[in-house]
Structure 1
Amino acid sequence: MSAQPPLVQSPTTAAPRSLGRALLWPAAAVALGFMLVFNSFDTTTDAKPAVQPVASSPAAVDTPAPAAEKPGTALPRAKPKRLKIKEIAVDAPFMGLSIDSKGQLEAPPANNSNLVGWFQEGVSPGERGTAIVAGHVDTKTGPAVFLQLSVLKKGSKVDIAREDGTVATFVVDSVESFMKSNFPDKRVYADTPDAQLRLITCAGTYDKKAQDYPENLVVFAHLDSVRKG
């Protein structure tokens, strides 16, 4: 297969992270919509596009929010370490994803089927706002970490272990698919007053001609509880 489709350019003016969330979500929405286009169950000999290395620069840090004491509140900022979803046998480490110099969101490596990425310029999972986590539905070698994401339903639980020693448990509110041509940017990426989570992957039947999946699957979830890991 040939190279990935072009991604939308992100704003060129830097902004504080809290404001940056509101500015970057529209660009990130399209970027995330395209980030997994090279994945399919295709068994032909066509070459798959290469994935650029992930930038390791740290995200800006706001003043931490108060520690969560009850559902609906939020945690201080802390990098996620591991994602566990028992219902679909997911147990995967995290890597940071960034917007590169071309305004494209870098994807997790295409040769790693058990890895998820979080948009590290945005909020961390458990922090107040909308945390974005993306993963492959499949890779060049077969099924990947988010293959069964569509099985989740309202009430399903998602655990994220964080570097501060806490485990944030999110409860799923809905699981929905959207055509990439009509992706609801504001609904998915809008800033929120509480701690929320979006799990995103590709969906639909892979289009070999377009070299793309036509849809994105989005899991909407909110922070429900916190415990020591």
Structure 2
Amino acid sequence: MSEERTGGVNRLLTGAAWVAMLLALWLWGHDITVDEPISAAPKTGDVAAARRPPAPGLPPAIEPLPGAGPKTLIIKSMGLEAPVEAHGLDAQGGPEPPPYERPNSVAWWQDGPAPGSTGAAVLTGHVDTKQSPAVFVELRTIKRGATISVVRTDGSTADFTVEDVSLVDRKHFDDQKVYAPREEDRAELRLITCGGDYDRAKHLYTANVVVSAYLTGARQVPVPAPAPTPADGGSGGGGSDADA
């Protein structure tokens, strides 16, 4: 890692509510080149509401969850557990990633779907900073079929299964293929960071790593039972037992 690298998402735009997202994405290009092919994302109306069978070896999708914001991102296969911050767009219409002083945090575009809700929720993070590796430094190594978990503000945990990992050239970035949901009425997740080569002259990476996943499980954290309250009048009969 070069000391000049600034990491980040390098003008990466987020948003699974892609109609709104397109208003910002025009700022930095529309063509597509994908080093490793990803499934073409359907335009609205191109897919039926009925779900497709899962890809071979992958579990079926489950119904989307009620809306709740993300708190923590967990990828056990990578040894990753990171806090999630809600962010909007910056002044140029790009994403507002976590600040460099919090390189191990992840940003969620709060104007798009929440992880677990219908649509494609987008989480972004730095790959490195000038000082050190950052939260998504190993994101490119995640495997198809891996589980990504998102702990949510309602106490539930949404589990997503990775269906593919792509390296998308920044010069030919297709917002629809990356951000649009691949299936109607499905809860999906995109994890995105910088990838490819580092251009020292421009101080940015040449590509983006895009991890696509979909909701396959949900767990509710048990609510702790309330502490027992003393019985009216106390338990006076137990005092003599302490004399032993």
Same fold by TM-score, threshold 0.5 exceeded?
yes
- Asked if 1:219 is matched to 2:219, the reply is no
Are the equivalent residues in 2 in contact too, given 1:206–1:212 (CA < 8 A)?
A: yes
Q: 1:100 to 1:113 in 2, by over 3 A?
A: closer
When residues 223 and 211 of structure 1 are mapped into structure 2, their CA distance, relative to the original with a 3 A threshold, is same
Match of 1:138 among 114, 128, 137: 128
After TM superposition, the score normalised by the length of structure 2 is 0.68
Is the Cα–Cα contact under 8 Å of residues 63 and 187 in structure 2 kept in the other structure?
A: yes
Q: Does 1:209 align with 2:206?
A: no
Structure 1 residue 96 displacement after superposition: 1.0
Tell me what 2:77 maps to. 87
In 2, the alpha carbon distance for the partners of 1:180 and 1:91 equals 27
1:102-126 deviation per Cα after TM superposition (whole angstroms, max 9, x unaligned)? 3232121112221001110000000
> Offset at 1:25?
4.3
Aligned equivalents of 2:148, 2:106: Cα separation in 1: 13
Report the CA distance between 1:21 and its aligned residue. 3.4
Mean CA deviation greater in 136-145 or 119-128: 136-145
Of residues 24, 27, 32 in structure 2, which corresponds to 1:27? Answer: 24
- Where has structure 1 moved over 4 Å in runs of 4 or more? 6-10, 28-31
Match of 1:197 among 189, 193, 196: 189
For 1:220 and 1:104, the matched residues in 2 are separated by: 20
Equivalence for 1:154? 144
Name structure 2 gaps, 5 residues minimum.
29-59, 222-244
Match for residue 39 of structure 1?
Answer: none
Taking only aligned residues, the RMSD between alpha carbons, in angstroms, comes to 2.8
The change in CA–CA distance for 1:175 and 1:217 in structure 2 (over 3 A counts) is same
Partner residue in 2 for 1:46 = none
Matching residue's letter, 2:141: V
> Which residue does 1:123 correspond to in 2?
113
Tell whether the 8 Å contact from 1:26 to 1:186 is kept in structure 2 after alignment: no
- Alpha-carbon distance change, 131 to 29 in structure 1, aligned in 2, over 3 angstroms: farther
Larger relative contact order (Cα-Cα within 8 Å, sequence gap ≥ 6):
2
1:9 and 1:102 in contact (8 A); partners too = no
Matched pairs, number? 182
Q: What CA deviation, in whole Å up to 9, does each residue of 1:78-102 have, x standing for no partner?
A: 1100000011111000101201343
Native 8 Å contact 2:88 2:110 kept in 1: yes
Larger radius of gyration: 2
In the other structure, the counterpart of 1:104 is 94
Alignment partner, residue 37 of structure 1: none
The 1-side partners of 2:13 and 2:77 are apart by: 36
Scaled by the length of structure 1, the TM-score of the pair is 0.72
Give the CA deviation at 1:188: 1.1
SS in 2 for 1:217: strand
Give 1:193 deviation, angstroms.
2.0
Q: How far apart, CA to CA, are the structure 1 residues paired with 2:64 and 2:12?
A: 31
The 8 Å contact of residues 8 and 30 in structure 1, kept in 2 or not, is answered as: no
Q: Percent identity?
A: 37
Contact 1:97/1:106, CA 8 A, preserved across alignment: yes
Displacement of 1:140 in angstroms is 2.3
Q: Which amino acid aligns with 2:218?
A: V
* Corresponding letter in the other structure for 1:179: D
Q: Is the Cα–Cα contact under 8 Å of residues 179 and 216 in structure 1 kept in the other structure?
A: yes
